[in-house]
């Protein structure tokens, strides 16, 4: 009797079951872009007339995994080069979406750089079209920084600009570029941190990852950054919960018309002639650590960043960050720190401690809110979780040695 009843039900329900299954398949095929790994990207790919295959292997050799195309005439060829070198690509394309090249290494397509709010309606249409015809590929758009003028933004405030972009264009990754000054006579890193905080808030609200470009070369009034200054820019992004960082620039764009452009010094990771600068090995070291941290970083969501000035008489640390107190040993200079509070997908808490000083090391004393034996640190050289290593075990308290601009990432048990 039950078998007969089931057969009658199935005969009547079969069309609806099939439709439901087909609908599920369509939804699966139309799924949006899902970031698979931490993005370590670059702007301005190789432009020499030499062996391009070796040039893209050179990019991979510096531990990058993403190339953002700009002013590249042959997107299909660039995708081939990226795939052969084990790199992902965001391709700059024109024309009908149906003609966009695609392959295993194609993360998506670079649609526009630094749009004003007046472009959002048109971009929303392009993004929707791309999602229908290239399901799973990223419609990539990079935003202005918070020092852009209202006339550039097309809004009265930067927060309004980013919020409108998120709500009108509905991106799957939020990204901006911001190049702070880090000179003795001019330090604009507070604006950089504020920009990261805006992206963190908007990305968290939308449930999407955020990336950002930072400065790795001299241009205009910007001085040539040291490795510690590059590390600080990267680590500040990580403390906010970024899922990608992008170098400006990899290949030096050149002097421009008549030698009067923004880039006459050269000095990117490679020169305009394709010669490695000191930044190549700096990027290789930093990016190697990012690759190791990447799997953990992809599981973290930023809750906020605070800046503390640790002294021998430091007061209690901000609550909820895994710390009870941050101080220094008597006689040491104050420690200037960024504390990034993050949440792990598995329910654990995370803390990134960043040396805000890009000129000097610091040795803060950390008092966690649980025994050190229960804390884990993510090792930058392996990516493995381990019991934190006290930098000065003969001294009282847990000593955390930090190089200039450097950071350490700790994980805490989830609260019951």
Q: What is the DSSP string of 143-211?
A: BP-TTS-HHHHTSSSHHHHHHHHHHHH--SSEEEE----EETTEE-HHHHHHHHHHHHHHHHHHT--EE
- Cα 7 to chain center, whole Å? 54
- Cα 144 to chain center, whole Å? 16
Is the backbone of residue 158 left (phi > 0), alpha (psi -120 to 50) or beta? alpha
Q: What is the DSSP letter of 414?
A: P
**Domain range summary for the chain, segments of one domain joined by +:** 30-298, 301-412
Lowest mean pLDDT among 23-37, 76-90, 158-172, 276-290: 23-37
Residue 28 scores a pLDDT above 80: no
pLDDT bracket for residue 254 (50, 70, 90)? confident
Q: Tell me the C-alpha to C-alpha distance, in Å, between residue 362 and each of 3, 164, 309, 321, 330.
A: 75, 41, 11, 20, 13
Residue 94 scores a pLDDT above 50: yes
The tokens describing 62, both together, are 């510096």
pLDDT of residue 258: 43
Lowest mean pLDDT among 75-79, 265-269, 312-316, 354-358: 312-316
Q: What is the DSSP letter of 402?
A: B
pLDDT, one tens digit per residue, over 297-352 is 999 999 999 999 888 776 656 777 899 889 998 888 889 999 999 999 999 999 99
% of residues, the chain, pLDDT over 90: 77
Q: How many CA atoms lie within 13 A of 312 on its CB side?
A: 6
Angle at 21 between CA 139 and CA 132, to 5 degrees: 20
pLDDT of residue 262: 66
Pick the CATH number of 30-298 from 3.30.420.40, 3.20.20.80, 3.30.530.20, 3.40.640.10: 3.20.20.80
**Where are the strands (E) in 196-267, listed by range?**
210-215, 244-248
pLDDT of residue 29: 41
Tokens 């998506």 locate to: 108
The tokens describing 365, both together, are 């004393």
Q: Do domains 30-298 and 301-412 have the same CATH topology?
A: no
pLDDT, one tens digit per residue, over 367-395 is 999 999 999 999 999 999 999 999 999 98
pLDDT bracket for residue 9 (50, 70, 90)? very low
C-alpha 404/C-alpha 278 separation (Å) is 18
Instruction: Name the nearest CA neighbour of 190 among 382, 53, 356.
Output: 356
Look up the CATH number of domain 301-412.
Answer: 2.60.40.1180
Angle at 401 between CA 400 and CA 406, to 5 degrees: 110
pLDDT, one tens digit per residue, over 173-228 is 999 999 999 999 999 999 999 999 999 999 999 999 999 999 999 998 999 999 99
* Contact of 120 with 99, CB cutoff 8 Å: no
C-alpha 268/C-alpha 274 separation (Å) is 10
pLDDT of residue 274: 92
Give the strand order in the sheet containing 385-386.
300-310, 335-344, 349-355, 407-412, 376-378, 385-386
Is the backbone of residue 136 left (phi > 0), alpha (psi -120 to 50) or beta? left
């Amino acid at each position: 009797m039950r078998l007969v009843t089931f057969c009658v039900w199935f005969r009547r329900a079969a069309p609806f079951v099939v439709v439901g299954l087909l609908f599920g398949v369509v939804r699966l095929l139309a799924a949006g872009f899902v970031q698979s790994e931490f993005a370590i990207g670059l702007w301005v790919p190789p432009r020499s007339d030499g062996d391009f295959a070796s040039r893209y292997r050179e990019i991979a050799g510096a531990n990058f995994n993403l190339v953002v195309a700009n002013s590249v005439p042959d997107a299909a060829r660039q995708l081939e080069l990226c795939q052969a070198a084990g790199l992902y690509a965001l391709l700059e394309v024109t024309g009908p979406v149906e003609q966009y090249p695609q392959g295993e290494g194609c993360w998506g397509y670079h649609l526009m750089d630094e749009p004003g709010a007046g472009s959002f309606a048109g971009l929303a249409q392009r993004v929707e079209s791309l999602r229908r015809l290239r399901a799973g590929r990223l419609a990539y758009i990079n935003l202005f920084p918070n020092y852009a003028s209202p006339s550039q933004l097309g809004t009265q405030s930067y927060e309004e600009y980013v919020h409108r972009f998120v709500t009108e264009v509905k991106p799957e990754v939020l990204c901006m570029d911001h190049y702070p000054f880090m000179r003795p006579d001019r330090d604009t890193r507070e604006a950089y941190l504020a920009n990261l905080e805006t992206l963190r808030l908007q990305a968290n609200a939308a449930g999407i990852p955020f990336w950002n470009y930072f400065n790795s070369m001299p241009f205009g009034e910007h001085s040539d950054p040291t490795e510690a200054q590059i590390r600080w820019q990267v680590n500040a992004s990580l403390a906010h919960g970024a899922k990608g960082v992008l170098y400006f620039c990899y290949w030096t764009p050149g002097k421009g018309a008549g030698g009067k452009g923004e880039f006459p010094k050269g000095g990117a990771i490679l020169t305009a002639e394709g010669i490695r600068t000191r930044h190549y090995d700096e990027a290789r070291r930093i990016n190697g650590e990012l690759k190791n941290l990447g799997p953990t970083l992809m599981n973290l969501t930023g809750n906020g960043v605070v800046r503390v000035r640790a002294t021998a008489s430091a007061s209690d640390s901000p609550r909820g960050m895994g710390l009870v107190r941050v101080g220094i040993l008597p006689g040491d200079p104050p420690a200037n720190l960024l504390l990034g509070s993050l949440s792990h997908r598995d329910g654990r808490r995370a803390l990134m401690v960043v040396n805000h000083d890009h000129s000097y090391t610091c040795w803060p004393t950390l008092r966690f809110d649980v025994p050190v034996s229960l804390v884990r640190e993510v090792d930058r050289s392996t990516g493995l979780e381990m019991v934190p290593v006290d930098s000065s075990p003969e001294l009282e308290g847990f000593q955390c040695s930090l190089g200039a601009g450097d950071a350490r990432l700790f994980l805490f048990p989830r609260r019951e």
